[in-house]
Amino acid sequence: MADKKRLFIGTFLKTDKLLKEYPKLKKNFENAVFGKWVEDWNLHFTYHFLGEIEADLVETLHFQLSPFLIEYESEISLLGLGCFPSLRSPKVLFVNLVDKNEILKGIHQNCGKVLSNFNIELEKRDYHPHLTLLRIKSFERNLFQKTLEKYSNFDFGKVEKFKVELIESKLTKEGPIYKVVQFLP
């Protein structure tokens, strides 16, 4: 059996303000929600999750995606918290990413076109750029909703540029280990 790599296309993203507020945020949600917080060095958002890809296809895939695996100069604001799939049954707590130029959706679409050539199954849901903070295992509804409301329009800062990367995700007992996939030109 050939080796496989678990891959996604993403952007590591953090602002000084988010890093400063992150410990306070965790403390404020302490009794409201229980689960696995993303380590601050692993904060990222995903354009596409590719799943397990044959190792011998990774270099070709990287080459085909390379026009989009670059640094972009465009403002992204981190504004307010939300949850998926719903407030009644939250599984993910996230920071909303506001992209007035809709460049993130364009990157998502362009990468999706490349992935379709590799028969990689793409998610059918509308793309909603977000920065996952917490995978929720359980929550106390009233306290969670009140705490979430406090952060509904909270400004976590902004970035003026960001880089799109092909990233390998190795799952361990301690949590995922992410490594940017790179090939020499």
Where in the sequence numbering do the catalytic residues fall? 44, 130
Q: Write the CB contacts of 157 (distance below 8 Å, at least 6 apart in sequence).
A: 15, 16, 17, 18, 77, 78
Tokens of 82: 């939300």
Distance CA(97)–CA(111), nearest Å, equals 19
Long-range contacts of 118-122, Cβ-Cβ distance < 8 Å, separation of 24 or more: 118/53, 118/57, 118/61, 118/64, 120/48, 120/50, 120/51, 120/53, 121/51, 122/48
